[in-house]
Amino acid sequence: MPLCLVIDPMHESLFAMMTAIGWQVDYKPTITRDEIKAIRDGYDGLIVRSKTTIDRDLLGPSPTIRLIGRAGAGLDNIDLDYMQEKGIHVLHASEGNRDAVGEYAVGALLSLLRNLPRANAQVRQEVWDREGNRGEEIMEKTVGIVGYGNMGQSFARRLSGFGCKVLAYDKYKTGFSDTFAREASMETLWAEADIFSLHIPLTAETRRMVDTLYLARFKKPIVFVNTARGEIVSLADLAAALEKGQVRGAVLDVLENEKLATLNLNQRQAFDFLAGRPDVILTPHIAGWTFESHVKINVALVEKIKALQLEKKG
């Protein structure tokens, strides 16, 4: 029976699922990097979230591990080149939290357009300001989506009842227009979008992709939504675009640096500026974080592990 080391907190449903497909699980959610290195050679698989970087240093020059299962969507904490070099299978479970991300993106967008955070705070202070909180509808607006994988499609699907136009751009796909979105060029998104939402992974190519020059290409002031990865967006450049009116509102579930105690001076200035604005919603990377997705991620990941049909070496 192959043995899998699980190094992050996981929903307990994982263990029965793994046993059912013939895997033994060693659950060590508080294990340190040095401790992993000390015991790594006894395992066939590794299931991780995002706290640990998975690379040559962690796995060693001749790893026995043949499978990395990422319990979530992003793979930016995994050295994919090294995994390919060593023939290690890398799986992720973006199907597991795509529903949560799609719902969050729509819900947070509605909250921003209808001024719900501000209105809620005012009423609690006994301020009854209807006109000051007059909002906007999504209907008849153009929503631009970058990245039409699991997350982008989930967002588009949930927008289908709002009477808006949805355009999607994906650098690595063509011919993907469907009931929920029409394939478009990036130039079309820059020209037409009223609302702009990112659904792409963090890679060397996309790191700080959204900067001053990128934001300046939009023809209209946009509402900006990021539920993908914070490091895709320069926080300082986004703050500057808000100040200039190029961006007229933002939903940010992810930040360039999510360890707020370690913000450098530029990041601190940008964060403080954003945090002080009523047209910005900030949340702590919770778009895909629901009770349901906690289990769905396990289901999606275990199905993929089962499909590999790995046997215990030796």
Instruction: List, by residue number, the catalytic residues.
Output: 229, 258, 285
DSSP states along 150-200: HHHHHHHHHHTTTT-EEEEE-TT--S---SS-EE--HHHHHHH-SEEEE--
**What is the rounded distance in angstroms from the CA atom of residue 5 to the CA atom of residue 247?**
45
CA distances from 294 to 15, 93, 190 (A): 13, 11, 35
CB 180 within 8 A of CB 168: no
What secondary structure, in 3-state letters, does 64-110 show? CCCEEEECCCCCCCECHHHHHHHCCEEEECHHHHHHHHHHHHHHHHH
Query: Position of tokens 């631009």?
Result: 144
Dig out the tokens for 87 from the structure: 């023939």
**What is the rounded distance in angstroms from the CA atom of residue 168 to the CA atom of residue 292?**
27
CB 138 within 8 A of CB 194: no
Cα–Cα–Cα angle for 186, 143, 256, rounded to 5 degrees = 70
**Which of 146, 296, 302, 160 is CA-nearest to residue 227?**
146
Q: Phi-psi category of 90—alpha, beta or left, where left has phi over 0 and alpha has psi -120 to 50? A: beta
- Strands 195-198, 280-282: parallel, antiparallel or unpaired by DSSP? unpaired
